[in-house]
Amino acid sequence: MTSQHEHSVRITRGEVTLEGILGFSVDPRGIVVFAHGSGSGRFSSRNMFVARQLQRDGFATLLLDLLTEVEADDRRNVFDINLLADRLLLAKGWLEAEPRAQHLKIGYFGASTGAGAALQAAAREPSNLRAVVSRGGRPDLAESYLPSVTAPTLLIVGGHDEPVIEMNQAAYDLLTCERKLVLVPGATHLFEEPRTLEQVAEHAGRWFQRYLQQIG
């Protein structure tokens, strides 16, 4: 997928405008919305790497800032999972009304705190949502919502990210949907080690290929 297939978009509700990057493959199978972690945004190099691999796998993608610039300056907002989930649902509603994407089923890819927001959003509004993938996620931030998640959920954690492994094991036990926990050998929290982020993209691609398909 090359940059010529990516477009800047703005998602507006009231006084809130979210900046995003909408990427399309030819005849996409579905669309994956990315929820970034704390201190990150739509230009996250790791999320962009995974997004472009998913585009090569045949999916459209939406990378977006879940907070405005002013909101992001207040660190309390970065960990406000309710607010971040609200923004994901705003993006979901925008996609469902957007002519280029309204026919596509939706998946979420959440990183770190963004995974907590993705899981909460998945529980609150499951319609048209077919799959969730968490990378180094904090599902504990959505703990009370986990039993209500119905979309098949893949939890990907670095094999050397011990505290987050424990959080994800606990989340796995609370989830009642189709679910899988994958440990990437040798990876720490940010998947900076050689070939580890590639493995994340491969696992995510297979999960979305299995569950995020345009069937009927």
**Residue range 152-176, pLDDT digits in tens:** 999 999 999 999 999 999 999 999 9
The CATH topology of domain 3-211 is Rossmann fold (3.40.50)
Work out whether strand 60-64 and strand 153-158 pair parallel, antiparallel, or are unpaired: unpaired
* pLDDT more than 70, % of the chain: 97
**Residue range 106-133, pLDDT digits in tens:** 999 999 999 999 999 999 999 999 999 9
The region of weakest confidence among 35-44, 52-61, 71-80 is 35-44
Parse the chain into domains and list their residue ranges. Answer: 3-211
Q: What is the DSSP string of 76-134?
A: HHHT-HHHHHHHHHHHHHHHHH-TTTTTS-EEEEEETHHHHHHHHHHHH--TTEEEEEE
CB 109 within 8 A of CB 204: yes
Work out whether strand 179-184 and strand 6-13 pair parallel, antiparallel, or are unpaired: unpaired
Supply the mean pLDDT for the chain. Answer: 93
Note the pTM of the prediction, 2 decimals.
Answer: 0.95
What is the structure's pLDDT at 214? Answer: 54
**Residue range 11-48, pLDDT digits in tens:** 999 999 999 999 998 889 999 999 998 777 898 888 99
What is the structure's pLDDT at 3? Answer: 38
Statement: residue 1 has pLDDT above 50? no
